[in-house]
């Protein structure tokens, strides 16, 4: 098991129903990228509304891994 910590920055699209789509890595730590993408892909959001209509948005997410 690699004992690594650090921060991975991701960009994701949240679709009109609040589901995470199209996650991509903006700042990489190769051994942690997969875990960060997997975690963020499971998240669900309340849809963003513009003039009462649900719309997709682009979100930047910072995932920090810390050793204990």
Is the pLDDT at 2 greater than 80? The verdict is: no
Higher pLDDT, 14 or 68: 14
| Model pLDDT, residue 8 | 98
| CA–CA gap between residue 12 and residue 9 (Å, rounded) | 10
Residues 16-64 pLDDT 10s: 999 999 999 999 999 999 999 999 999 999 999 999 999 999 999 999 9
**68, HSE (Cβ side, Cα atoms, 13 Å):** 0
Question: What pLDDT was estimated at residue 68?
Answer: 86
DSSP string covering 1-68: -----EEEEEEEEE-TTSBEEEEEEEE--HHHHHHHHHHHHH-B-PPEEETTEEE-EEEEEEEEE---
Is the model more confident about 21 or about 1?
21
């Amino acid at each position: 098991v690699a004992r690594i910590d650090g921060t991975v920055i991701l960009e994701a699209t949240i679709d009109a129903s609040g589901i995470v789509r199209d996650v991509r890595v903006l700042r990489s730590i190769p051994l942690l990228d997969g875990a960060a993408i997997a975690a963020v892909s499971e998240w669900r959001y309340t849809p963003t509304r513009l003039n009462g209509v649900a719309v997709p948005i682009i979100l930047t997410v910072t995932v920090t891994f810390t050793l204990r």
